[in-house]
Amino acid sequence: MKYSIIIISLLIGLASCTAKQKAPEKAVVPALQNVVQLTDAQLENATIQTAPLVARKISVLLRLNGKVDVPPQNMISVSAPLGGYIKTTGLLPGMLLRKGQVLAVLEDPQYIQLQQDYLLAKSKLHFAGLEYSRQKDLNQSQASSDKVTQQAQAEVDNQRIMMNALAEKLKLININPNNLSEGNITRSVRLYSPINGSVSKVNVNIGKYVNPADVLFELIDPSDIHLNLEVYEKDISKLYQRQMLVAFTNITPDKKYNCEIHQISRDINEQGFSEVHCHFLNYDKTLLPGMYMNAEVKVTTASSQTLPLESIVNFEGKEYVFVQTGRQKFMMHEVKTGNQQDGYIEILNQDLTNKNMVTKGAYTLLMTMKNSAEEE
């Protein structure tokens, strides 16, 4: 029994040693060196050009968003100055209107009373005028006292004041007092559109009684519909009046609308935004108030350090340039890039100043470096 245990232990040990000997070795992958040394022959065959960073002004797109808006002076609330019952109206939100178009017809007994009062005041003024003329003649012949004549003149003035006040009330409900007579007294009045525009809201229905303070309709005058953009406070200094921009909606991003910055607010709200008021150069009626839009403004940054785009090589998801460190020696250096324009790209690194970078042939150097690493 003792010998059996020893034999089993020896067999297990031998099996373990055999397993260790048969374990596959991991392949060693040579690391890519960040320095490449060209031979005379390689340098002759490769077209290598070098240059330092170049200071250039790069124009970048500032992306903003906002919505189509209407200034307060272009939003019209329509009310009935004296109130009344809605007899007829055919308005619906979104309808287009012409200036002078009938918005609604209202009825109320007070309209009849107002016309009656005006006509009575007009009649009394006529009679008071005749009486004043008679008293004036009598006074000249000493047949009437000055007091009676003065009372007759005061009555004329009172009736004229009454008639003029009533005439202004009639104008409020669109009744021309000059055309009013006892034969054309009406119980209904009309409300007319004061603008060419569209209907935004309808707050009444037929048969409803409205007070003078009630808003019956809300109208929009499209003559000054604008784009109201929100801009971060850090970007305000990049914008100026009469600057051009391009706007578009999320629904039709390919359809561009040219706009001009008209006014820039100098107030910053709690969210850190300021408002920029822009005018459409050619307003499209499909752009409705409240519609969200995006905008792109081309702004010019301060002078930036740049390199030609072909100076940049991509390797394993990062961007590099080759810095010349000797006559035929180049070192691959990781860079952070910014905006680009006209074939140049902004280099954000601060440690590349006064150094020569490969501006032509950078890809050739990368391939040479890869081949060298694979041969090792």
**324-367 residue pLDDT tens:** 988 888 999 999 988 888 888 888 888 888 889 899 988 888 88
Kindly state whether residues 200 and 92 are assigned to the same domain: yes
| Alpha helices (H) in the chain, listed in sequence order | 2-22, 40-45, 109-140, 146-172, 362-375
How are beta strands 226-232 and 273-280 bridged, if at all? antiparallel
Domain end residue (candidates: 301, 330, 361): 301
User: Are the CB atoms for 359 and 309 separated by under 8 Å?
Assistant: no
pLDDT tens, position by position, 239-251? 999 999 999 999 8
Query: pTM higher than 0.85, yes or no?
Result: no
The count of domains in the chain is 4
Q: What is the pLDDT of residue 343?
A: 87
Could you give phi then psi for residue 334, rounded to 5 degrees? -70, 140
Same domain, yes or no: 144 and 246: no
Backbone angles phi, psi at 121, to 5 degrees: -65, -35
How distant, in Å, are the alpha carbons of 139, 306, 358, 359 from that of 51? 112, 11, 7, 6
Cα–Cα distances (Å) from 230 to 44, 65, 242, 256, 296, in that order, read: 56, 6, 17, 19, 12
Residue where a domain terminates, one of 276, 301, 326: 301
Q: Which residue is it, tokens 């109206």?
A: 89
- Among 9-23, 227-241, 246-260, 341-355, where is mean pLDDT lowest? 9-23
Q: Mean per-residue pLDDT for 313-329? A: 89
Q: Does 136 reside within a domain? A: yes
pLDDT at 78: 95
Average pLDDT of the residues in 115-133:
89
The answer to whether 90 and 340 are in contact (CB under 8 A) is no
Same domain, 212 and 83: yes
CATH of the domain at 97: 2.40.50.100
Q: What is the pLDDT of residues 172-181, one digit of tens each?
A: 999 999 999 9
Of 207, 209, 224, 262, the closest CA to residue 240 belongs to 262
| Residue 76 parent element (H or E) | strand 75-78
**In a domain? residue 203:** yes
For residue 206, pLDDT over 80 is answered with yes
Report yes or no on 217 lying in a domain: yes
Which of the residue ranges 101-105, 272-276, 352-356 would you say has the lowest mean pLDDT? Answer: 352-356
Residue 163 belongs to domain spanning: 109-186
The domain that holds 323 is classified in CATH as 2.40.420.20
Instruction: Give 183: exposed, middle or buried? Use CB within 10 Å, 0-12, 13-18, 19+.
Output: exposed
The larger pLDDT score, comparing residue 18 to residue 73, is at: 73
- The answer on 246 and 147 residing in a single domain is no
